[in-house]
Amino acid sequence: MSRRRLALAGAVAVAAAAPFLIDSFWLQQGLFAMAAAVGALGLTLLLGQAGQLSLGHSFFLAAGAYGYTFLASGAGPRAGGLGLSPYLAAPLAVLLAGLAGLLFSPIAARLRGIYLGIATLGLVFLGQHILANAPRLTGGDNGRSVPPLPGFDADPGGVRYLLNVEWGREQKLWYPFLAGLLLAYLVFQAIARSRTGRALRAVRDRELMAGIVGVPVTRFKAYAFLISSMYAGLGGVLVALAFRRVVPETFGITLSIEYLAMVVIGGLGIAGGAIAGAAFVACLPSVLERYSDLLPGLAAGPGDAGISAPVAGKFLYGAAVIAVLLIEPAGLAGLARRRPRRAPAPAATAPPATEHTPTDKEVSHP
Amino acid sequence: MTRPSVRLGTVLFTLTLVTTGCATTKPTGGGAAAAPGVTASTITLGVLTDRTGPFAGAGASIELGRRLFWEAQNAAGGVCGRTVQFTVKDHGYKTDQAVATYAQIKDNVLALDELLGSPEIAALSDTLEQDKMPTMAVSWSSALLANPYVIVAGTTYDVEMINAVDWLMRNRGLAKGAAIGHIYLEGDYGSNALAGSTAAAAANGLTLRPSQIKSTDTDLTAQVTALHNQGVRFVLLSTSSAQTASAVSVAEANGFDMSFVGSNPSFSPALLAGPARAAMQKRYYMVASTAPLSSTAAGPEKLRAEINAKAPDQAKSAGTFTVYGYAQGMIMKQILEAACAGGAELTRDRVLTAFHSLTTVQTDGLIAPLDYSKPGQIPARQVFVARPDATVPGGLTQVQGLFAAAQATTFVPKS
- Domain count along chain B: 2
Q: Which residue of B has its CA nearest to A337?
A: B6
Q: How many CA atoms lie within 13 A of B127 on its CB side?
A: 27
**pLDDT level of residue A361 (50, 70, 90 thresholds):** very low
Q: Which residues of chain B have pLDDT under 70?
A: 1-34, 415
Kindly state whether residues B84 and B128 are assigned to the same domain: yes
Task: State the pLDDT at residue B223.
Answer: 94
**pLDDT level of residue A245 (50, 70, 90 thresholds):** confident
Task: State the pLDDT at residue A323.
Answer: 85
What is the separation of C-alpha A189 from the centre of its chain, rounded to a whole number of angstroms?
15
Residues contacting A294, CB < 8 A, separation 6+? none
The CA radius of gyration of chain B, in Å to the nearest whole number, is 23
- Distance (Å, whole) CA A366 – CA B70: 57
The answer to whether the beta carbons of residues B263 and B236 sit under 8 Å apart is no
B366 phi/psi in degrees, rounded to 5: -80, -40
**pLDDT level of residue A302 (50, 70, 90 thresholds):** low
Task: State the pLDDT at residue A158.
Answer: 62
| B172 lies in some domain | yes
Buried b (16+ CB within 10 A) or exposed e, B73-86: beeeebbbebbbeb
Write down the H helix ranges in B56-105: 56-75, 95-105
Chain-chain contact of A22 with B22 (C-beta, under 8 angstroms)? yes
Chain-chain contact of B15 with A166 (C-beta, under 8 angstroms)? no
Please count the residues of chain A.
366
- Flag whether residue A8 sits within 8 Å of chain B, measured between CB atoms: yes
| Chosen from B10, B95, B105 to mutate, greatest number of chain A CBs within 10 A | B10
How far apart are the CA of A106 and the nearest CA of chain B, in angstroms?
30
How far apart are the CA of A53 and the nearest CA of chain B, in angstroms?
23
| B364 lies in some domain | yes
**pLDDT level of residue A355 (50, 70, 90 thresholds):** very low
- Distance (Å, whole) CA B134 – CA B106: 11
Kindly state whether residues B303 and B393 are assigned to the same domain: no
How far apart are the CA of A353 and the nearest CA of chain B, in angstroms?
7
**pLDDT level of residue A79 (50, 70, 90 thresholds):** confident
CB atoms within 10 A of CB B153: 28
- Distance (Å, whole) CA A191 – CA A174: 26
Domain boundaries, chain A: 3-250
**CB-CB: which of A245, A357, A360 is closest to B125?**
A245
| Chosen from A27, A73, A164, A243 to mutate, greatest number of chain B CBs within 10 A | A243
- Please report, for the domain that includes residue B67, its CATH number: 3.40.50.2300
Interface A:B, Cβ pairs < 8 A: 214
Buried b (16+ CB within 10 A) or exposed e, A213-247: eebebbebbbbbbbbbbbbbbbbbbbbbbbbbbbb
| Chosen from A21, A249, A270 to mutate, greatest number of chain B CBs within 10 A | A249
Domain of B232 in residue numbering reads as 157-288+383-410
- Distance (Å, whole) CA B22 – CA B104: 12
Q: Of A42-51, A111-120, A145-154, B9-18, which gets the smallest average pLDDT?
A: B9-18
Task: State the pLDDT at residue A24.
Answer: 78
Kindly state whether residues B67 and B185 are assigned to the same domain: no
3-state secondary structure of B263: coil
The answer to whether the beta carbons of residues B111 and B348 sit under 8 Å apart is yes
Long-range contacts: A290-293, Cβ < 8 Å, 24+?
A290/B21, A290/B25, A290/B104, A291/B21
Residue A348 has pLDDT above 60, yes or no: no
**CB-CB: which of B5, B103, B187 is closest to A141?**
B187
Kindly state whether residues B296 and B282 are assigned to the same domain: no
Q: Which residue of A has its CA nearest to B51?
A: A302
Kindly state whether residues B375 and B280 are assigned to the same domain: no
| Chosen from A14, A25, A44, A142 to mutate, greatest number of chain B CBs within 10 A | A142
Kindly state whether residues B181 and B56 are assigned to the same domain: no
Kindly state whether residues B306 and B281 are assigned to the same domain: no
**CB-CB: which of B6, B63, B88 is closest to A333?**
B6
Write a three-state SS string for B160-214.
Answer: HHHHHHHHHHHHCCCCCCCEEEEEEECCHHHHHHHHHHHHHHHHHCCEEEEEEEC
**CB-CB: which of B2, B12, B96 is closest to A356?**
B2
How far apart are the CA of B222 and the nearest CA of chain A, in angstroms?
21
| B20 lies in some domain | no
Residue A353 has pLDDT above 80, yes or no: no
Task: State the pLDDT at residue A329.
Answer: 76
The counts of H helices and E strands in chain B are 13, 12
Task: State the pLDDT at residue B2.
Answer: 43
How far apart are the CA of B325 and the nearest CA of chain A, in angstroms?
15
Residue A345 has pLDDT above 60, yes or no: no
The answer to whether the beta carbons of residues B327 and B65 sit under 8 Å apart is yes
- Flag whether residue A228 sits within 8 Å of chain B, measured between CB atoms: no
On chain B, the residues whose CB falls within 8 A of the CB of A255 are 96
| B129 lies in some domain | yes
On chain A, the residues whose CB falls within 8 A of the CB of B9 are 272, 336-337, 339
- Distance (Å, whole) CA B58 – CA B56: 6
Question: Please, which residues 102-141 of chain A have a Cβ atom closer than 8 Å to chain B?
Answer: 132, 140-141
Residues contacting A88, CB < 8 A, separation 6+? A71
On chain A, the residues whose CB falls within 8 A of the CB of B125 are 142, 245
Kindly state whether residues B81 and B224 are assigned to the same domain: no
Closest by alpha carbon to A33, among A200, A260, A264, A280?
A280
Please return the burial class of B245, using the count of CB atoms within 10 Å of its CB with bins 0-12, 13-18 and 19+.
buried
**CB-CB: which of A7, A28, A302 is closest to B4?**
A7
pLDDT tens, position by position, A261-290? 899 888 888 888 899 999 988 888 777 777
Task: State the pLDDT at residue B204.
Answer: 92
Task: State the pLDDT at residue A108.
Answer: 83
Task: State the pLDDT at residue A1.
Answer: 56
Kindly state whether residues B260 and B404 are assigned to the same domain: yes
**Rama region for B263: left / alpha / beta (φ>0; ψ in -120 to 50; rest):** beta
Kindly state whether residues B248 and B370 are assigned to the same domain: no
The answer to whether the beta carbons of residues B19 and A18 sit under 8 Å apart is yes
**Rama region for B344: left / alpha / beta (φ>0; ψ in -120 to 50; rest):** beta
Question: Between the CA of residue B194 and those of A201, B187, B236, B365, B403, what are the distances in Å?
Answer: 53, 11, 9, 28, 20
How far apart are the CA of A78 and the nearest CA of chain B, in angstroms?
7
| B367 lies in some domain | yes
Question: Please, which residues 159-218 of chain A have a Cβ atom closer than 8 Å to chain B?
Answer: 166
**CB-CB: which of A11, A273, A280 is closest to B8?**
A11
Task: State the pLDDT at residue B119.
Answer: 85
Chain-chain contact of A336 with B9 (C-beta, under 8 angstroms)? yes
Q: How many CA atoms lie within 13 A of B144 on its CB side?
A: 33
Kindly state whether residues B63 and B145 are assigned to the same domain: yes
On chain A, the residues whose CB falls within 8 A of the CB of B124 are 245
| B17 lies in some domain | no
**pLDDT level of residue A332 (50, 70, 90 thresholds):** confident
**pLDDT level of residue A116 (50, 70, 90 thresholds):** confident
Q: Which residue of A has its CA nearest to B12?
A: A11
Residue A321 has pLDDT above 90, yes or no: no
Q: Of A140-154, A293-307, B39-53, B227-241, which gets the smallest average pLDDT?
A: A293-307
Kindly state whether residues B278 and B306 are assigned to the same domain: no
Task: State the pLDDT at residue A177.
Answer: 94
- Distance (Å, whole) CA B352 – CA B359: 14
Question: Please, which residues 24-53 of chain A have a Cβ atom closer than 8 Å to chain B?
Answer: 24-26, 28-30, 32-33, 37
How far apart are the CA of A242 and the nearest CA of chain B, in angstroms?
10
| B234 lies in some domain | yes
Question: Between the CA of residue A50 and those of A109, A354, B7, what are the distances in Å?
Answer: 11, 23, 21
**CB-CB: which of B89, B97, B130 is closest to A154?**
B130
Amino acid residing at B145: L
Look up the pTM and report it.
0.80
| Chosen from B5, B6, B15 to mutate, greatest number of chain A CBs within 10 A | B6
What is this model's ipTM?
A: 0.74
Closest by alpha carbon to B155, among B334, B399, B415, B385?
B385
On chain A, the residues whose CB falls within 8 A of the CB of B314 are none
